[in-house]
Copies of this chain bind each other. A is one copy, B any other.
Amino acid sequence: MSEYEAVLPHHSKVYEILRQHINEGVYQEGDLLPSENELSALHKVTRPTIRKALDRLSNEGFIVRHQGKGSIVKGAPKGVGILAMKGTTSAVGKENLQTRIIVEPEIRNWSEAFSFSLSRVEQESGCIYMERLRLVNNKAVFFDITMIPNINLPRFIGRNMENKSLFDVLRKNYRLEVKGGEQRILAITADERLQKYFGVPAGHPVVQLNRKIETNREGIYLYSQVFCNTDEFVLSGNF
């Protein structure tokens, strides 16, 4: 276990732990979270620190707080945009989602950033490129191409990304958080590569998403292109 771990402030650690516990079902929808005093004893921090973690969970919709009562778990939050804030995971649920790496993270020059324009700094620094195939119930549903500017992400190349959410890795290890972004949606027909991955015939319709994703770091954007076979699984999202 010699992985690079960013030093998170206490309130972020507590947030991550509680968030994970909610996602894993340790606390289920409708459950009461331990009280703030219990949590502060448990994690050995003061109540204001706990409250900061709970504030964030509340803002993001994981919990709802009631004065005099407690914090009630609400399960995974509704996304702000469609299948955006949380990656494609939110669209189908974590259970049966498998990730297969087609192209391991590697450093490339940007050929282009899909339909988005790049800043000079981004172009000069090159990008980390990866391709992933997402399977639901062992059926290929998403094909992702992700491009991240090659700026200050130590040991990212070589990190095992299998079955891990890219956003989770970025948030936990590099404190890089998704803040919002822009996405463009269109319908195309499957090219040869997609026909192979999705096992569909020529002419099969596919949803394509080009996404430029803002982060909490000034000028750092993630770019991703997602192809979706919506035969059996539609893309669903709340707004």
Q: Measuring CB to CB, which residues of chain A are less than 8 angstroms from any residue of chain B?
A: 55, 59, 61, 78-82, 84-85, 115, 180-189, 203, 205-207, 210, 228, 230, 234-239
Q: Is the CB of B207 within 8 A of A206?
A: no
Q: Please name 11 pairs of A and B residues whose Cβ atoms are closer than 8 Å in the assembled complex, sorted by A.
A: A81-B82, A82-B239, A115-B234, A180-B238, A180-B239, A183-B236, A185-B228, A186-B235, A187-B205, A189-B205, A205-B206
Given A187-B187, A187-B205, A230-B187, verify A238-B181 contact (CB < 8 Å): yes
Bound-complex Cα distance A42 to B61 (A): 33
Please tell me which one of the listed residues B80, B186, B205 contacts residue A80 in the complex, with CB atoms under 8 A apart.
B80
Across the A-B interface, give the 4 residue pairs with the lowest CB-CB distance, nearest first. Answer: A81-B239, A186-B230, A187-B205, A205-B205
Q: Is the CB of A236 within 8 A of B206?
A: no
Residues from chain B with Cβ under 8 Å of A184 in the complex = 234-236
Q: How far is the CB of A73 from chain B (nearest CB, A)?
A: 15
Q: A182-B239, A186-B235, A210-B234 provided; 12 other pairs, C-beta below 8 A? A: A59-B59, A79-B239, A80-B81, A81-B82, A182-B236, A183-B237, A183-B238, A185-B207, A185-B237, A186-B234, A187-B206, A203-B203
Q: Is the CB of A185 within 8 A of B81?
A: no
Bound-complex Cα distance A239 to B79 (A): 9
Residues from chain B with Cβ under 8 Å of A80 in the complex = 80-81, 239
Please tell me which one of the listed residues B82, B183, B207, B239 contacts residue A187 in the complex, with CB atoms under 8 A apart.
B207
Residues from chain B with Cβ under 8 Å of A183 in the complex = 82, 236-239
Q: How far is the CB of A155 from chain B (nearest CB, A)?
A: 25
Q: Is the CB of B186 within 8 A of A239?
A: no
Question: Which of A59, A82, A206, A235 counts the most B-chain CB atoms under 10 A from its CB?
Answer: A82
